[in-house]
């Protein structure tokens, strides 16, 4: 079995690196990862959702990754592990190592700072003064790195990322195309009918192992820094306002909007298009459903939802009309309760 553009691993080699128990032929060669439905020769698939359990009987995968309760549902080679989904992610990384595609510094790069020999920097990149790049940093074409920026070892910037002056990015960060780190926060002071721009004097601090999606913006702080903790994963088209502090290992899904001075505890999750008002704090371990609006502090971890359930338009209009009258109805119920108590006392 051959593969022109990647790695081939035996099932036993995968288990030796990642753990798990191999059942069946450990010499089975694996080229790719695939779904149970689409897998074929040389593919390894996985079962992480029990509703697809019946596909174990029909898949043409060379091997599968399964949890112990399903180990006997597939008769072919398999790896048994407690968390098949996380294991699949690690296998995919083994089979598809990162490829820079180029090395060295392109002749069109302009830099006001010394660059390490291990850096790979593509065409038309601009690097300011006082920039500190770690070892093995990869910067693709068209990126702009402002003055006094630091970028840690092993970080990867895809084309057209902009990092404003004074921002700090940790090790092994991944910034996707069009991301803007350190643009001015939305700070304006009212002066009659005018708005006076407030200088944004802070920066942005991004921890280690952070990934930031395409066209996402992280604003610099007004006075203190905006902080993105270690291990955070931020999707495409996300807005993080100035002076936010996003706790380690938090996840923000696409189109999330976070206003200024919001604090998220460790391991918070915000679903797609979630909106968080300014100066709000979320407890560690909080999950916000997609499309929800958060307007007050959340002190206890848990799952929170503010989305009005989907319905036909006519039903939605009727229910919305009732919701608008809830305060009036509550007042009427309170008055009725008072009258009943008065009648009980007379009796």
The pLDDT value given to residue 4: 52
Taking the chain, what is the end-to-end CA distance rounded to the nearest angstrom? 93
Portion of the chain with pLDDT greater than 70, in percent: 98
Min mean pLDDT across 95-99, 111-115, 251-255 is at 95-99
Give the contacts of 87 (CB within 8 A, at least 6 positions apart). Answer: 18, 20, 46, 65, 79, 81
Q: Quickly state the pLDDT bin for 3 (edges 50, 70, 90).
A: low
pLDDT higher than threshold 90 for residue 296 = yes
The pLDDT value given to residue 170: 98
The pLDDT value given to residue 309: 83
Distance (Å, whole) CA 304 – CA 311: 20
pLDDT tens digits for range 316-328: 999 888 888 988 9
pLDDT tens digits for range 191-221: 999 999 999 999 999 999 999 999 999 999 9
Question: Residue 242 catalytic?
Answer: yes
pLDDT higher than threshold 60 for residue 32 = yes
Residue of 106, 124, 176, 242 marked catalytic: 242
The pLDDT value given to residue 254: 98
pLDDT tens digits for range 135-187: 999 999 999 999 999 999 999 999 999 999 999 999 999 999 999 999 999 99
Average pLDDT (280-304) is: 98
pLDDT higher than threshold 70 for residue 75 = yes
């Amino acid at each position: 079995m051959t593969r022109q553009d990647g790695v081939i691993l035996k099932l036993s080699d995968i288990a030796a690196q990642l753990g798990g128990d191999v059942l069946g032929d450990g010499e089975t060669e694996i080229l790719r990862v695939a779904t149970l439905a689409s897998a074929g020769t040389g593919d390894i698939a996985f079962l992480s959702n029990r509703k697809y359990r019946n596909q174990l009987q029909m898949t043409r995968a060379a091997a599968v990754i399964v949890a112990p309760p399903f180990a006997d549902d597939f008769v072919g080679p398999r790896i048994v592990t407690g968390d098949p989904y996380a294991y699949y992610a690690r296998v995919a990384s083994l089979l598809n190592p990162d490829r820079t595609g180029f090395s060295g510094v392109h002749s069109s790069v302009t830099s006001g700072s010394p660059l390490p020999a291990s850096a790979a920097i593509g065409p038309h990149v601009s690097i300011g003064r006082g920039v500190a790049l770690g070892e093995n940093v990869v910067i693709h074409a068209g990126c702009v790195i402002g003055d006094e920026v630091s970028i840690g070892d092993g970080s990867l910037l895809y084309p057209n990322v902009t990092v404003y002056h004074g921002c700090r990015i940790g090790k092994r960060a991944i910034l996707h195309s069009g991301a803007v780190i350190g643009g001015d926060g939305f700070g304006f002071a009212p002066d009659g009918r005018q708005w006076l721009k407030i200088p944004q004097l802070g920066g942005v601090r991004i921890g280690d192992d952070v990934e930031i999606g395409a066209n996402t913006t992280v604003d610099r702080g007004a006075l203190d820094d905006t902080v993105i903790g270690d291990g955070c994963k931020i999707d495409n088209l996300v807005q993080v306002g100035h002076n936010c502090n996003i706790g380690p290992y938090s996840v923000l899904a696409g189109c999330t909007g976070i206003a200024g001075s919001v604090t998220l505890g460790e391991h918070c999750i915000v679903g797609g298009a979630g909106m968080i008002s300014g100066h709000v704090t979320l407890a560690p371990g909080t999950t916000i459903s997609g499309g929800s609006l958060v307007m007050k502090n959340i002190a206890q971890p848990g799952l929170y939802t503010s989305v009005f359930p989907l319905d036909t338009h006519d039903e939605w209009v009727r229910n919305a009309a009732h919701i608008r009258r809830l305060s009036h109805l509550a007042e009427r119920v309170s008055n009725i309760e008072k009258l009943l108590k008065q009648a009980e006392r007379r009796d």
